[in-house]
């Protein structure tokens, strides 16, 4: 079994690797070659969440689990709030193959998912990127989004405005003008990424213009909510996995309220394999409900392990 610690991941997996791996993962799910097992997610108190995301990809020969969660007090200890590890097993025998640091991989695979949704669903002429949220994950989402459209500027809102300059620095690195705005000015955006841990909607229907693509990435647990359920109900909704979208994703609220039919939600993989056309007009609002599936974690962990083996990196514990 190979151990690939967190400190090696940045040398082994790039944002482009993650983009390709997640496209293949969503396509595999749409073809029925891969499926996710039910998510286990438990509240530990004081805002801490812990759980397991797992799955099997027959085509990619991947079986495994990501164990981890969200620990909101970590910032004070100089750590990021998400902490996770991925375990890979041989799908034929169950033998453990690898244990891989999951923190950077989570950031990369989550950014890749929203970028794939922008690539496939946003209007080609999208020029203004809006971001709601400015925590650890926001910079990754911005970097990945900037690779798939020619954005000319970035506007951002965060409940805690003191966090915005860090996101502004990422925009500056990318050569993009950056402005902190209030929520009604999100109407200027052609694409909006939401990436907060909010328990109630911030982005309302009145804050979004026709033709916008929304990548809603923060809601990955029961009880979280980033956008107005009326906006979700009015949008053309896509997701990584419908079962997660309606139970722990942004769509959970509109589905529970009876304003969105679960059958109207399309897996993004269907678009990737050409079975669904995606956006239907320049005016419709498309919304990707990115809940984060276990197969995404396995896909990027498998890249890390393959690269580490090629380069003789990691710690082989020989079992």
Q: How many CB atoms lie within 10 A of CB 278?
A: 17
Residue nearest to ligand NAD (CB): 135
Instruction: Output the smallest distance, CB 238 to ligand NAD, in A.
Output: 14
- Separation of alpha carbons 135 and 158, rounded Å: 9
Q: Which of 66, 77, 166, 224 is catalytic?
A: 66
Both tokens of 43, joined, read: 């509240």
- For ligand NAD, the closer CB: 97 or 197: 197
Instruction: Output the smallest distance, CB 240 to ligand NAD, in A.
Output: 8
- For ligand NAD, the closer CB: 63 or 193: 193
Task: Please list, in sequence order, all residues whose beta carbon lies within 8 angstroms of the beta carbon of residue 68, skipping any fewer than 6 positions away.
Answer: 50, 51, 82, 83, 84, 85, 102, 106
Instruction: Output the smallest distance, CB 229 to ligand NAD, in A.
Output: 16
Residues that bind ligand NAD (CB under 6 A): 70, 81-82, 106, 110, 133-138, 158-160, 163, 195-199, 202, 217-218, 220, 224, 290-292
Instruction: Output the smallest distance, CB 317 to ligand NAD, in A.
Output: 29
Give the DSSP letter string of 32-85: TSEEEPPPEEEEEETTEEEEEEEEEETTTTEEEEEEEEE-TTGGGGTS-SEEEE
- For ligand NAD, the closer CB: 117 or 291: 291
92 is catalytic: no
Q: Which is it for the CA torsion 252, 110, 18, 141, positive or negative? A: positive
Both tokens of 85, joined, read: 């590890």
Instruction: Output the smallest distance, CB 50 to ligand NAD, in A.
Output: 12
- For ligand NAD, the closer CB: 97 or 250: 250
The structure tokens 């910032």 sit at 75
- For ligand NAD, the closer CB: 218 or 269: 218
- Separation of alpha carbons 157 and 208, rounded Å: 13
Q: Which positions are catalytic?
A: 66
């Amino acid at each position: 079994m190979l151990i690939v610690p967190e400190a090696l991941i940045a040398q082994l997996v790039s944002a482009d690797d993650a983009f390709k791996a997640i496209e293949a993962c969503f396509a595999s799910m749409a073809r029925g070659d891969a499926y996710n097992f039910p998510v286990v997610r438990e509240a530990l108190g004081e805002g801490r969440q812990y759980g397991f995301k797992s799955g099997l990809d027959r085509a990619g020969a991947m079986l495994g689990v990501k164990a981890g969660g969200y620990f909101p007090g970590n910032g004070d200890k100089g750590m990021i709030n998400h902490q996770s590890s991925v375990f890979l097993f041989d799908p034929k025998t169950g033998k453990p193959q690898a244990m891989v640091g999951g923190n950077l991989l989570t950031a990369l695979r989550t950014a890749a998912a929203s970028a794939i949704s922008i690539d496939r669903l946003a209007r080609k002429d999208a020029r203004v990127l809006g971001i709601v949220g400015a925590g650890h994950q926001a910079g990754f989402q911005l970097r990945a989004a900037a690779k798939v459209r020619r954005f000319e500027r970035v506007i951002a809102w965060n409940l805690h405005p003191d966090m915005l300059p860090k996101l502004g620095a990422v925009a500056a690195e990318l050569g993009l003008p950056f402005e902190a705005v209030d929520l009604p000015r999100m109407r200027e955006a052609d694409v909006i990424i939401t990436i907060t841990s909010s328990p109630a909607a911030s982005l309302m229907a009145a804050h979004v213009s026709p033709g916008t693509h929304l990548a809603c990435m923060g809601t990955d647990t029961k009880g979280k909510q980033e956008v107005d359920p009326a906006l979700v109900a009015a949008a053309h909704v896509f997701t990584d996995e419908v079962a997660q979208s309606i139970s722990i994703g942004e769509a959970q609220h509109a589905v529970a309220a009876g304003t969105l039919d679960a059958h109207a939600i399309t897996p993004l993989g269907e678009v990737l394999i050409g079975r669904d056309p995606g956006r239907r007009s320049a005016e419709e609002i498309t919304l990707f409900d990115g809940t984060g599936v276990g197969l995404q974690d396995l896909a990027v962990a498998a890249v890390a392990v393959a690269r580490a083996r090629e380069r003789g990196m990691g710690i082989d514990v020989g079992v």
